[in-house]
Chain A
Amino acid sequence: MREPTSVVLADDHYLVREGTRRLLADSGEITVLDAVGNAVELLHAVQRHQPDAVIADIRMPPTHRTEGIVAAHRIRAAFPHIGVVILSQHADEQYVFDLFQHGTNGLAYLLKERVGELDELVRAVREVVAGRSVVDPSIVEVLLGAHRRAVGSPLRDLTARELEVLRHMAEGRTNKAIAEALTLSESTVEKHVNATFAKLGLTAETQLHRRVAAVLTYLRAQ
C-alpha cells in the first residue's frame, strides 16, 4: 500500500463536494485535508495545508465562469510541486487549451462525471502529483475526430493501433499505462509511439511530461 496522497477539494455545490470527499476517502488512496466552496478559500487552504494535489471545480462563485482555471494557474505558479485536477461540466476543448496555456505540467482536465469512475480520478491525481498531465478522453475524441475529417490529414495515414496509442498519449498516459490498457508490451507501445510521431512529422518527445503538450498542440491546429 502506497502512502495516501493528500488533496484539497473545492466545489461550490455541497452535495457534489461531500459526495466526492466520501468517495475519495473511501478509496483509501487519498486523504482529503480540506473541502472548500470557492477559489479564495481554496487558495487559503492550499497555503495552509500544502497538499500534494488539488481537485477543483471549474465554475465557482462569484462569476461562475472559469475561476477553477485561474486558481489552478495561481497554485501552479506559487507551488510548482502541487498538482491540480480540474473537474468540469464543459466537454469543450477550448477550456483545456485555456488550462494548458502556460504549460501542461501537473495539470489535469476531467469531466465531472468521472467521479463515478473513481479509478480514473485517482489516477489523474497521481499523474499530476508526478508532474504529468491528463486530458479527459471525450475531449481527445473531439480533437482526433476533427483532424481525421480534414482532407489530407496525416492522421489518415495512421494505423488503427497507432491511432489508439495517439489517443492514450493525448489523454496523458505513460507508455506503461498504454501497454496495460491495450494489453501490449511496453516495447511494442514505444515502437508505435515513434512511428506515430514520425508520421505526424513531430520530433519524438522522450520527456514524457512534454508529450501531452506536443500532441495537443498538434491536434489543436486545424
Chain B
Amino acid sequence: MSARTREIDLATGLAAVLVLGAVALAVIYGWRTPPGVVPTFRWEGVQLAIETVCFSMAAVALVTRRAGRVIAWVLLLRGVGVLVFLAMLALMAWHGGTVELGLLALGLSASNWVSITLAVWLPDGRLPGRGWRWYVGGVAAFALVDVFLSSSTASTVYGVPNPVVGWLPLAAGYPYVTPYVVIAFVLVSGLSVAFRRMNPVQRRQAGLLIPMYVLWEGECVLWTFNVLPAGPRFALAYVMTVLWPVVLVTVIARDRVSRLDLAARRATVVAVLAVPIGAAVAFLPPEATVVAVLATLAGTLLVPLSRWVGAGVDRLIYGRRATPYAAARSLTGRLRDSLAPAEVPAVICDLVVDTLRFPFASMHAGDRLLAQAGTPAGVEPLVFELRHQGRLVGRLLVEPRQEWGGVDDADLGILQSLADQAALAVQLSERAAELAASRARIVQAQDTARRRIERSLHDGIQQELVALVARLRLVRNQARRGMGIDTELTGIQDDAYRIIDGLRELAHGIHPPVLTDRGLLAAVESTARRLPIPIAIDAPELGRFPTDIEESAFFLVSEALTNVLKHADARQVTIRLAGGGDRLEIEVGDDGVGCADGYRGGSGLTEMRDRVDTVGGHLVIEPRPGGGTMVRAVLPHRRRETTNA
C-alpha cells in the first residue's frame, strides 16, 4: 500500500469523524442549546457545524487530487478547530473549567488561522513563494495571541462565564482591529503580485477561487465584528457555508472528472453513514459522545487498518511468497534475463511454483504443452486463459495449494496477470514457429523448383540437342554419298526452333523477363493473354514496386490463375491491382464453382500464403458473392520505385 493511499484513507477517516461530531454538535446547538450560551449563538453554532460537514466532504473530494492535497488538510484543520471550539464551549456551559477554555481558545485559533491563510494555498496547495512561509507562521502566532488575549479580557465567552477573566492585565489595552488591517494589506498586495506570476490555467482557477474566498472571509469578518443585523448575516453565512466548498471542489477537481466521481462517491458514503449516527449521538450524555466518536473512528479505519496489518502478517508468516509485488519483481527480473518468448512459459511456471508456492503449474497452447513446473498432486487445477487481442492463445493451469490458507484473491489476481504476461509471449513464439515452418516450406519449394529445372534441362533440352547432333551426323553421311540433303536440313532447323521455344518457356518459368523489364502489370497482362480464358484486368495507373513485392504479387496472380484453370471451371476472370500509398492490393476473382468459406488447404494455397507472409502481407480466400472465388491480398511496401517504366 502506498503512502498516498494511506494519506487518502487517513483523510477520509478524519473527515468521517468530523462529520459525525459536527452533526452531533449541530443537533446539540440547534435543539438542546447549552445553558448560558447567548441565544443568538444557537444558529451560529449550527452554521459552524454545517460548515464543518461541508468542508470535511470537500476535503475527502480534494485529497485524491495532487493539487487538492494540501487544501484538503487545511480544510480538515479548520473542521477540527471549529469542532473543538464548539465542543469545549458546550462543555464549559455544562461544567465550567479552565482546561476547556484553553482548548476552546486553541480550536478558535486554528480555525481563525485557516480562514486568514486559506487564500495563499490556492489554487493548487502550493505557497506562491518561500517568503509566504513567514506569513503563514506569523498568522499562526497572531491567531494564538489574539484569541488568548481576547479570552482573558472578556467577562463571558458567548454568554458563558469566563473563569480566567483578568489573568492578564496588559491585555486590556490590546488593539483588536489593527492587526487584521495589517494582515489584510499584506494578503491583498502579496496575492496580486503572485497572481501576475501564475500560468493561464492557475490564473483561471485562482480567478474563480479568490473572489469566493473574499466573500467567505468577508462573511467571517462580519460575523466576528457583529456588523450586519442577524437576519441577513445568517442568510449570507449559510449560503457561503455550502457554496464555498462546492466551488472549491469543482474548480480544483474540474480537470479530472473520473477522480471527482471517485471522490464524490467517497464523500457521499461518509455523509450517509455519519449523519444519522451523529444525530443519534447528540441525544446521549456528553461522555457517551466521546465513546461514540472513538467507535466510529475505529470503524472507519478498520478496513485500511486490516489491510496494512494483513500485509504485515503475510510478510511475517509466508516470507517471500504471495505478495504480488514480489512476484511481479521476480517476473520482470527473469524476463530481462531470458528475452526469448519461447522461454517465457517455463519462467512463469517456475515462478508460480517457486515464488508463489503453488504445487504444480503448466502452460498449454491448444493441446500442446509449452512448459510445466512442480509435482502434480492430481487436484482439479485452476484455469487461467491466455488472451492476446481478445483471441484465446493458450491456458495456464495451476493446482491450488492446500496449506497456507489455500488460494486468496491476491493469488488469483497475480496468477491472472501472469497469464496475461504469458499471452503475448506465447503469441509471439507461436508466430515464430509459424514463420520457421513457412521458411522451411519456401526453401523446400525452391529446391523442388531447382530439381524440376535440372530435369527439364537434362531430360528435355539436352536430349533434343543430342538428337539434333545425331541428325546432323546423318546429313553429313548423306552429303558424303552425294544425296540431296535439303529436306533433312529443314527438319534439323525445325528441331532447333523447337529447342529454342522449349528453352524460352523454361526461362520464362524460372523468371519471366517481362516482370523485371516492364513491371507487374505488363507481366500479368502477357500471362493473361496466353491463358485460354477471358481475363479482365483493372489496374489504373499501376506503377513499379520493389522487386520482391512485384515478384510475390506476380507469383500470387499466376498461382491464383493456375487454380482457376485447374479447379474453378470458370468462364471469366477479373484481376484488380491497386497500388495506392504504401500497399499493393491484389484481387483475383472468378465466376467458377467457388470454394468453402475460410478454405485453407492445398499445397498451392499454402505456397501462396507463405509467399504473402514473407513480405508481411495478408491473404484472404473467400467465396465471391454470386458464385466463384475471390483471392484477395494486400502487400505492404516501403516505397514506389518509379511511377512508370
Q: Which A residues have a C-beta under 8 Å from some C-beta of B? A: 65-66, 89-95, 98, 112-113, 116, 142-143, 145-146, 149-151, 222
- Give the chain A neighbours of B571 by CB distance below 8 A: 151
10 closest A-B pairs (Cβ-Cβ)? A146-B529, A94-B522, A94-B518, A150-B534, A92-B514, A94-B514, A113-B500, A65-B517, A92-B526, A94-B526
- Give the chain A neighbours of B514 by CB distance below 8 A: 90, 92, 94-95
- Give the chain A neighbours of B493 by CB distance below 8 A: 116
- Give the chain B neighbours of A94 by CB distance below 8 A: 514, 517-518, 522-523, 525-526
**B540 CB to nearest A CB, Å:** 14
Nearest residue, chain A, Cβ from B525: A94
The main secondary structure of chain B at its interface with chain A is helix
Nearest residue, chain A, Cβ from B571: A151
Given the complex of chains A and B, what is the CA–CA distance between A91 and B522 in angstroms?
13
Q: Tell me which residues from 510 to 547 in chain B have a Cβ below 8 Å from any Cβ of chain A.
A: 512-514, 516-518, 522-523, 525-526, 528-530, 532-537
| The one of A90, A91, A116, A222 that contacts B536, using a Cβ cutoff of 8 Å | A222
12 contacts between A and B (CB under 8 A): A90-B514, A91-B504, A92-B514, A94-B522, A94-B526, A98-B517, A113-B497, A113-B500, A116-B493, A142-B526, A142-B529, A145-B529
Q: Which B residues have a C-beta under 8 Å from some C-beta of A? A: 493, 496-497, 500, 504, 512-514, 516-518, 522-523, 525-526, 528-530, 532-537, 571-572
Given the complex of chains A and B, what is the CA–CA distance between A66 and B513 in angstroms?
10
Given the complex of chains A and B, what is the CA–CA distance between A55 and B536 in angstroms?
36
**A119 CB to nearest B CB, Å:** 13
Residue contact A95 to B534, C-beta cutoff 8 Å: no
In the complex with contacts A98-B518, A113-B500, A116-B493, A93-B526 CB distance below 8 A: yes
Residue contact A149 to B534, C-beta cutoff 8 Å: yes
| Listed residue (B497, B500, B526, B536) with the most chain A CB atoms within 10 angstroms of its CB | B526
Nearest residue, chain A, Cβ from B532: A149
Given the complex of chains A and B, what is the CA–CA distance between A39 and B514 in angstroms?
20
**A4 CB to nearest B CB, Å:** 25
**B641 CB to nearest A CB, Å:** 14
- Give the chain A neighbours of B500 by CB distance below 8 A: 112-113
Known: A94-B514, A94-B523, A222-B535. 10 other contacts (CB 8 A): A65-B516, A65-B517, A92-B526, A94-B522, A94-B526, A112-B500, A142-B529, A143-B529, A145-B529, A150-B534
Nearest residue, chain B, Cβ from A113: B500
- Give the chain B neighbours of A146 by CB distance below 8 A: 528-530
How many residue-residue contacts, CB under 8 A, span A and B? Answer: 55
Nearest residue, chain B, Cβ from A138: B501
- Give the chain B neighbours of A145 by CB distance below 8 A: 529-530
Residue contact A151 to B536, C-beta cutoff 8 Å: no
In the complex with contacts A116-B493, A142-B529, A90-B513 CB distance below 8 A: yes
- Give the chain A neighbours of B523 by CB distance below 8 A: 94
Given the complex of chains A and B, what is the CA–CA distance between A98 and B645 in angstroms?
10
**B368 CB to nearest A CB, Å:** 49
- Give the chain B neighbours of A89 by CB distance below 8 A: 504
| The one of A66, A116, A143, A222 that contacts B517, using a Cβ cutoff of 8 Å | A66
Given the complex of chains A and B, what is the CA–CA distance between A86 and B5 in angstroms?
85
Nearest residue, chain B, Cβ from A142: B529
Nearest residue, chain B, Cβ from A144: B529
| The one of A95, A143, A151 that contacts B518, using a Cβ cutoff of 8 Å | A95
Given the complex of chains A and B, what is the CA–CA distance between A142 and B528 in angstroms?
10
Residue contact A149 to B533, C-beta cutoff 8 Å: yes
**B455 CB to nearest A CB, Å:** 22
**B135 CB to nearest A CB, Å:** 84
**A169 CB to nearest B CB, Å:** 19
- Give the chain A neighbours of B528 by CB distance below 8 A: 146, 222
- Give the chain B neighbours of A95 by CB distance below 8 A: 514, 517-518
- Give the chain A neighbours of B512 by CB distance below 8 A: 92
Given the complex of chains A and B, what is the CA–CA distance between A151 and B573 in angstroms?
12
**A6 CB to nearest B CB, Å:** 28
Given the complex of chains A and B, what is the CA–CA distance between A130 and B230 in angstroms?
122
- Give the chain A neighbours of B516 by CB distance below 8 A: 65
Given the complex of chains A and B, what is the CA–CA distance between A98 and B517 in angstroms?
10
- Give the chain A neighbours of B530 by CB distance below 8 A: 142, 145-146
Residue contact A116 to B526, C-beta cutoff 8 Å: no
**A47 CB to nearest B CB, Å:** 27
- Give the chain B neighbours of A142 by CB distance below 8 A: 526, 529-530
Nearest residue, chain B, Cβ from A147: B529
**A63 CB to nearest B CB, Å:** 10
Given the complex of chains A and B, what is the CA–CA distance between A90 and B517 in angstroms?
11
**A95 CB to nearest B CB, Å:** 7
Given the complex of chains A and B, what is the CA–CA distance between A146 and B525 in angstroms?
10
**B58 CB to nearest A CB, Å:** 78
**A13 CB to nearest B CB, Å:** 14
Nearest residue, chain A, Cβ from B523: A94
- Give the chain B neighbours of A66 by CB distance below 8 A: 517
**A94 CB to nearest B CB, Å:** 4
Given the complex of chains A and B, what is the CA–CA distance between A154 and B536 in angstroms?
16
- Give the chain A neighbours of B572 by CB distance below 8 A: 151
- Give the chain A neighbours of B497 by CB distance below 8 A: 113, 116
- Give the chain B neighbours of A92 by CB distance below 8 A: 512-514, 526
- Give the chain A neighbours of B526 by CB distance below 8 A: 92-94, 142
Nearest residue, chain A, Cβ from B572: A151
Given the complex of chains A and B, what is the CA–CA distance between A65 and B529 in angstroms?
22
- Give the chain A neighbours of B536 by CB distance below 8 A: 222
- Give the chain B neighbours of A93 by CB distance below 8 A: 526, 529
Given the complex of chains A and B, what is the CA–CA distance between A65 and B512 in angstroms?
12
**B607 CB to nearest A CB, Å:** 25
Given the complex of chains A and B, what is the CA–CA distance between A116 and B512 in angstroms?
25
**B51 CB to nearest A CB, Å:** 88
- Give the chain B neighbours of A222 by CB distance below 8 A: 525, 528-529, 535-537
**A96 CB to nearest B CB, Å:** 10
Given the complex of chains A and B, what is the CA–CA distance between A91 and B530 in angstroms?
11
Given the complex of chains A and B, what is the CA–CA distance between A89 and B529 in angstroms?
18
- Give the chain B neighbours of A150 by CB distance below 8 A: 534
Nearest residue, chain B, Cβ from A112: B500
Given the complex of chains A and B, what is the CA–CA distance between A142 and B523 in angstroms?
14
Nearest residue, chain A, Cβ from B505: A91
Given the complex of chains A and B, what is the CA–CA distance between A143 and B530 in angstroms?
9
- Give the chain B neighbours of A112 by CB distance below 8 A: 500
Given the complex of chains A and B, what is the CA–CA distance between A65 and B518 in angstroms?
10
**B161 CB to nearest A CB, Å:** 114
- Give the chain A neighbours of B532 by CB distance below 8 A: 149
- Give the chain A neighbours of B504 by CB distance below 8 A: 89-91
Given the complex of chains A and B, what is the CA–CA distance between A15 and B514 in angstroms?
25
- Give the chain A neighbours of B517 by CB distance below 8 A: 65-66, 94-95, 98
Given the complex of chains A and B, what is the CA–CA distance between A168 and B139 in angstroms?
113
**A39 CB to nearest B CB, Å:** 15
- Give the chain A neighbours of B513 by CB distance below 8 A: 90, 92
**B414 CB to nearest A CB, Å:** 63
Nearest residue, chain A, Cβ from B512: A92
- Give the chain B neighbours of A151 by CB distance below 8 A: 534, 571-572
Given the complex of chains A and B, what is the CA–CA distance between A94 and B518 in angstroms?
7
- Give the chain B neighbours of A91 by CB distance below 8 A: 504
Given the complex of chains A and B, what is the CA–CA distance between A114 and B461 in angstroms?
20
- Give the chain B neighbours of A116 by CB distance below 8 A: 493, 496-497
Given the complex of chains A and B, what is the CA–CA distance between A90 and B535 in angstroms?
22
Given the complex of chains A and B, what is the CA–CA distance between A145 and B530 in angstroms?
8
Given the complex of chains A and B, what is the CA–CA distance between A197 and B516 in angstroms?
35
**A30 CB to nearest B CB, Å:** 20
**A137 CB to nearest B CB, Å:** 12
- Give the chain B neighbours of A90 by CB distance below 8 A: 504, 513-514
